[in-house]
């Protein structure tokens, strides 16, 4: 499908993912639809009947330099929500 996944984070009530189409024929909409279908099937016994929203919200980044702040936003989402902490060299910087 020619899609690169640069960053992702699955939260209890939503998902963030940063993807890039590698070619002019890349189909991000199809990628998202197939991912939702596969995840829904995999977790069909643990999730409510209608877990995913029918649509998704996308933002198009025009320049590669714009992707780094978005990736960090995605990776730090659980920290901002107080779900996890981060540590460097054994020292905790946030509450777990």
Q: What ranges do the domains of the chain cover?
A: 3-92
Four-point Cα dihedral 75, 81, 86, 92, nearest 10: 170
pLDDT tens by residue, 3-58: 999 998 888 778 889 999 899 999 988 998 888 888 777 877 777 676 666 777 77
Q: Which of 35-39, 75-79, 86-90 has the highest mean pLDDT?
A: 75-79
As beta bridge partners, residue 58 has none
Q: Please give the Cα distance from 7 to 27 (Å, whole number).
A: 18
Q: Please give the Cα distance from 75 to 88 (Å, whole number).
A: 16
Nearest CA among 3, 64, 68 for reference residue 31: 3
Q: What does pTM read for this prediction?
A: 0.72
The class of domain 3-92 in CATH terms is alpha beta
């Amino acid at each position: 499908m020619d899609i690169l996944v640069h960053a992702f984070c699955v939260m209890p009530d939503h998902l963030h993912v940063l993807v890039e189409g590698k070619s002019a024929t890349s189909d991000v909409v199809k990628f998202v639809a197939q991912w939702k279908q596969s995840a829904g099937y995999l977790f069909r016994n643990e999730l409510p009947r209608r877990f995913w929203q029918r649509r998704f919200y996308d933002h198009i980044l025009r320049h590669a330099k714009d992707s780094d702040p978005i990736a960090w936003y995605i990776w730090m989402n659980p920290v901002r929500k107080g779900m996890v902490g981060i540590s460097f060299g054994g020292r905790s910087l946030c509450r777990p």
